[in-house]
Amino acid sequence: MTRRHLRLAVMLVFAGLFFALVVVQKSQTARILIIHSNDPAYPWVASVNEGLARGFEGRRNILFRYHYMDLKNHTDAAFKERAATLALNAVSSWAPDVLVLVDDEAQALVGKAVVAPGPGAPGVRVVFSGVNGEPADYYPPGAEVTGILERKPLPAIRDAALSIALESATRPPRARPRVQFIGDHSSSITAEIPTYEGFDWSPAEFLPPVQVDTFADWQAAVERAEREADVILVTNYRNIRDGVDGPFLRPAAQVMQWTAEHATVPVIGMGATNSEDGAMLTVSVSPFEQGEVAAALALQVLDGTPPASLPVVVSKQFIVQVCTPSLARWGLTLPPLYEAFARATDHYYEEGCS
């Protein structure tokens, strides 16, 4: 064999080994597809993604792909249908080993269609996150699915509402301070309302929740609550339209800023961006926990644990946010623990929140 032929043979061997290693590597690489109901600019989504990154940190041989359905900004039925089709195409074309679905809309539009209905059955293994409803609302018994539920920290919210109602009372305080919830008609709010109604708010009185569609209806609900309640609770107002059947959504920050400026009783947020929008105080579910727990569950599934055998987790962590300009309008002094908590998590806003 000539030197030239020998060199060619060595090159071919190395090329064969390289391609063999590539094939082996690909065969050992898992695929995780993460589908968000909303868009990447939504702060809740960014924080969930940060939690996911923390949970997956240090784990190699995993390929990740993200898909965003952008359903907070588009609520019409035609867009939802297109978004669902695109998401299902992403699942079909990428064939993930684990599918992580974030928020209720993703479960309803994607999870229902692809989840494995039982052990050993064909389908995709699903881990959910940020679910306000119940798993049974989306998945049949025994389905290969697990995840973390998003449950508002209602005891902490109740305590904050009672404290603020007593301190800010412009009239003789009621024996049972009244709490009024106002939200939009989004699926997440509708799914959560039974939880609010089933919670023991005593010694406060929880008034019947109000859901509205338009900005004019929102304004009327806030004005009505001022006459009937001592504290207003809000969480989601991103699906508030400018008018009946209007094509345009009122920017969320405008809704909250109007509320903070015009409400004559304090407004407490329960959603992850309410104080960024202008609510003086927010006590909400931690989006970071939603991501970290979903990642931990996904890794267990990748390691061979059937999703159906993993208990569904209920959220335990929460975050506190403070918008000091809105707080100053009321002349309120929050317990030092609230300020310390908000500062420690970079949610103490001294400007740019109202």
Question: pLDDT digit string (tens) for 203-223?
Answer: 999 999 999 999 999 999 999
The pLDDT-based confidence of 4 (bands split at 50, 70, 90) is low
Considering the domain architecture, whether residues 294 and 206 belong to the same structural domain is answered as: no
Q: Give the confidence band of 226 by pLDDT, cuts at 50, 70, 90.
A: confident
Does 207 share its domain with 302?
no
Do 259 and 292 reside in the same domain of the chain?
no
The encoded tokens of residue 244 equal 């009946």
Specify whether 53 is located in the same domain as 82. yes
Q: Percent helix, strand, coil in the chain (nearest 5)?
A: 45, 20, 35
The per-residue pLDDT for range 169-198, each reduced to its tens digit, is 666 667 799 999 999 999 889 999 999 999
Same domain flag for 310 and 245:
no
Question: Which domain CATH number covers 145?
Answer: 3.40.50.2300
What is the average pLDDT across 244-254?
78
SS3 241: strand
The pLDDT of residue 13: 43
* Per-residue 3-state assignment (H helix, E strand, C coil) for 54-94: HHHCCCCCEEEEEEECCCCCCCCHHHHHHHHHHHHHHHHHH
For residue 188, being part of any structural domain is answered with yes
**169 and 193 together in one domain:** yes
In a domain, 262, yes or no: yes
Q: What is the pTM of this model?
A: 0.86
Predicted local confidence at residue 2, as pLDDT: 64
Which residue range is the domain that position 224 belongs to?
154-285+318-349
Q: How many domains does the chain have?
A: 2
The reported pLDDT for the residue numbered 247 is 59
pLDDT at residue number 17: 42
Contact status, residue 301 vs residue 62, Cβ threshold 8 Å: no
How high is the pLDDT of residue 25?
40
Q: Name the more confident of 295 and 170.
A: 295
Residues 52 and 121 in one domain: yes
Q: Is the pLDDT of residue 74 over 90?
A: no
For the ranges 25-34, 147-156, 313-322, 337-346, the lowest mean pLDDT is seen at 25-34
